[in-house]
């Protein structure tokens, strides 16, 4: 029953965020009447939503007064250190309805890939992914020693959040974001908002078909591997290796699993997310990645935790040419 009713918890969370329940409690607790007035909901609707959030541990209730719990205050109120509301919008408006076709996607492939979304929906996806991966991006900037490195190529760099995190933390690093046209435009906006246009370039291109920009000694592939099949990933790693000098560093951030593909649990579940949005989307194990690296001219260095189910594989370009 707990597993089967999981959709109820998710939808209650999505609805409370969309209806502004957490924002309404950002400045002060509220009685049910006040909460209804602040959100524009009826008393009944406000009670159903708020009590569900109390039951799930997101809101707190003392007598007839509701307040944000620590998680809601930090991530859902719009006043905390991070804002995950764009992520909830992405999963509610795009992922949730798409998951209704999980059986079909696993049986015969997804009805539509994420690449086929229109420009507005693509912006919603990009904002959601940026929000949920803010923690791993910040963690990478903290745990990797970039001293002695100069230029970072962020392959398929999305909105640029990973490059921004690294460049802010390491003054010696300049970065180039290499992305498809629609997302590259969003990246330019984000880089400008961060005040980093002098240190981060945005270049349009397709990493699977076009030559990568030259002159970089660190290569970052953040949440790109899960888009492709094993054969495609070997090809991608070989293409990156062709652009890398011996000794260059490779950083692969993703939902890496153990050899059974069942741990971390959330990574195993994310395989479904990739399956409904991508024809060849999947999660892969660290052992599989090590094999690909050996075949494409890279030496596996280490596997490090980032944040949540995200982790990082670090490799280095060897003198040996790729075997494929």
For residue 25, what are the contacts with CB-CB under 8 A and spacing of at least 6? 35, 59, 66, 67, 68, 72, 77
d(CA 103, CA 107): 6
- Predicted TM-score (pTM) of this structure: 0.93
Over range 168-194, report the average pLDDT: 95
Report the chain's mean pLDDT, rounded to a whole number: 96
pLDDT band at 158 (very low <50, low <70, confident <90, very high): very high
Over range 109-138, report the average pLDDT: 92
Cis peptide before 264 (omega within 30 of 0): yes
Was domain 6-75 assigned CATH 3.40.50.300? no
d(CA 135, CA 82): 9
Domain ranges of the chain: 6-75, 114-317
Over range 267-291, report the average pLDDT: 97
How is domain 114-317 classified at the CATH fold level?
Answer: Rossmann fold (3.40.50)
Residue owning tokens 């579940």: 269
In degrees, rounded to 5, the angle at the alpha carbon of residue 316 between the alpha carbons of residues 314 and 322 is: 120
- In 3D, which of 180, 168, 162 has the Cα closest to residue 223? 162
């Amino acid at each position: 029953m707990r597993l089967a009713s999981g959709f109820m918890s998710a939808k209650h969370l999505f609805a409370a965020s969309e209806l502004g329940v957490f924002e309404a409690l950002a400045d002060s607790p509220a009685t049910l009447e006040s909460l209804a007035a602040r959100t524009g909901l009826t008393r009944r609707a406000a009670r159903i939503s708020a009590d569900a959030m109390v039951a799930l541990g997101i809101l707190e209730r003392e007598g007839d007064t509701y307040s944000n719990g620590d998680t809601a205050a930090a991530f859902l109120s719009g006043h905390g250190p991070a804002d995950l509301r764009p992520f909830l919008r992405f999963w509610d408006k795009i992922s949730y309805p798409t998951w209704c076709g999980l059986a079909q996607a696993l049986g015969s492939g997804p009805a539509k890939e994420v690449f086929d979304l229109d420009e507005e929906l693509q912006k919603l996806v990009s904002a959601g992914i940026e929000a949920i991966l803010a923690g791993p991006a910040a963690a990478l900037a903290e745990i990797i020693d970039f001293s002695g490195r100069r230029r970072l190529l962020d392959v398929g760099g999305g909105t640029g959040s990973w490059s921004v995190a690294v460049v802010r933390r390491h003054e010696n690093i300049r970065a180039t974001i290499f992305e498809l046209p629609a997302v590259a435009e969003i990246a330019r906006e984000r880089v400008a908002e961060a005040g980093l246009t002098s240190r981060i370039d945005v270049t349009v291109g397709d990493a699977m078909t076009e030559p990568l920009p030259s002159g970089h000694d660190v290569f970052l592939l953040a949440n790109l591997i899960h888009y492709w099949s094993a054969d495609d990933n070997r090809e991608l790693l070989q293409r990156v290796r062709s652009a890398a000098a011996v000794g260059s560093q490779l950083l692969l951030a993703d939902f890496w699993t153990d050899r059974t593909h069942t741990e971390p649990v959330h990574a195993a579940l994310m395989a479904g997310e990739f399956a409904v949005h991508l024809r060849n989307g999947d999660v892969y194990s660290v052992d599989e990645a090590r094999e690909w690296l050996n075949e494409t001219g890279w030496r596996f260095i280490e596997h490090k935790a980032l944040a949540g189910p995200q982790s990082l594989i670090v490799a280095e370009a060897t003198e040996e040419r790729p075997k494929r």
